[in-house]
Amino acid sequence: MTTVAYEKDGRIARITLNRPETMNAIDDQMPRDLAAAVARADADPGVHVMVLSGAGDAFCAGYDLTFYAEGNGSGEATQPMPWDPIKDYRFMWENTQHFMSMWRAVKPVVCKVHGFAVAGGSDIALCADMTIMAEDAQIGYMPARVWGCPTTAMWVYRLGAERAKRMLFTGDKISGREAADMGLVLKAVPAEQLDDAVEEMAARMATVPINQLAMQKMVINQAIEQTGLMQTQRLATVFDGITRHSPEGIAFKERSEEKGWKQAVWERDEGTYDWTRQEEIPKGNR
């Protein structure tokens, strides 16, 4: 595995997103490597708990837009144009299921977030059983503004309808402190205390027999699954492909190719560009 590092430390498996030069941006390989690391820990009779983290300055900055948005050809994202919605769906559904390997694993996964867990990175963080953030870290799904729909749909299952709408109708990023207050994550602590908080939680759970951990996790998860989790994720995955190929989605892709993805993302997140008209919005009209 080149994009995800794995280490066993007593009863704890440490899984680390390992593309620090890109703030652990998601490429084609990372979801597969993540699922493989989770499967390895889940199959190890000596591992009780997994801790997921990110190397470098952030947990995960989302999908690698240098490749998916700025590069690889006009209008292309996951495949050559013209767009085949089923090919797109199969690609994104596979990624979603790789992220959900943490949910399906019988052993608990604690996610440690520093820096950023944004866009697709928030999908990964929210698939863990519990997430602990640094107070100054940020989480959000900015592509909800243009060019994305969170395929795991974990926002609604963690927050409920109204707060999930608050996040996905705006695409805002929020701090770890606000995420904890909102109930999106388990808790937030000062950045210098993040490692200790995660280690304390993991060590406490690691003293419980694996079969006990597995039974509690399966009971809780099935209560969520009974509400139609997979059906919701299938719809979200279909919509994610549509958002990238709607008129506004194509405009975002073309803008990324023309001006670079950082400029396009800034315009999207700040609300300074009209993606329907493909023109900048005058200051007085924003």
Contact 275, 146 (CB under 8 A): yes
Contact 41, 50 (CB under 8 A): yes
All residues at 6 or more sequence positions from 31 whose CB lies less than 8 Å from its CB, including other chains: 94, 95, 98, 99
Using 50, 70 and 90 to split pLDDT, how confident is the model at 70? confident
pLDDT at 80 (0 to 100): 76
How many domains is the chain built from?
1
Using 50, 70 and 90 to split pLDDT, how confident is the model at 2? confident
Q: Which residue has the higher pLDDT, 77 or 175?
A: 175
Contact 127, 104 (CB under 8 A): no
Contact 5, 18 (CB under 8 A): yes
pLDDT at 97 (0 to 100): 98
Judged by phi (left if over 0) then psi (alpha if -120 to 50, else beta), residue 62 lies in: left
In the chain, how long is the greatest CA-to-CA distance?
Answer: 62
Query: For 173-187, what is each residue's pLDDT tens digit?
Result: 999 999 999 999 999
d(CA 252, CA 269): 12
Q: What angle do CA 133, 271, 96 make, to 5 degrees?
A: 45
Q: What is the mean pLDDT of residues 161-166?
A: 98
Q: Which residue has the higher pLDDT, 70 or 251?
A: 251
Does the structure show a pLDDT above 60 at 236? yes
Average per-residue pLDDT in the chain? 95
d(CA 191, CA 114): 7
d(CA 53, CA 114): 8
Amino acid at 92: M
Query: For 32-63, what is each residue's pLDDT tens digit?
Result: 999 999 999 999 999 999 999 999 999 999 99
Task: Kindly report the number of other CB atoms within 10 A of residue 32's CB atom.
Answer: 16
pLDDT at 27 (0 to 100): 94
Q: What angle do CA 78, 81, 84 make, to 5 degrees?
A: 70
pLDDT at 185 (0 to 100): 98
Task: Residue 129: give its domain's CATH number.
Answer: 3.90.226.10
DSSP string, 8-48: EETTEEEEEE--GGGTT-B-SSHHHHHHHHHHHHHH-TT--
Q: What residues make up the domain containing 11? A: 4-285
Peptide bond into 85 cis (omega under 30): no
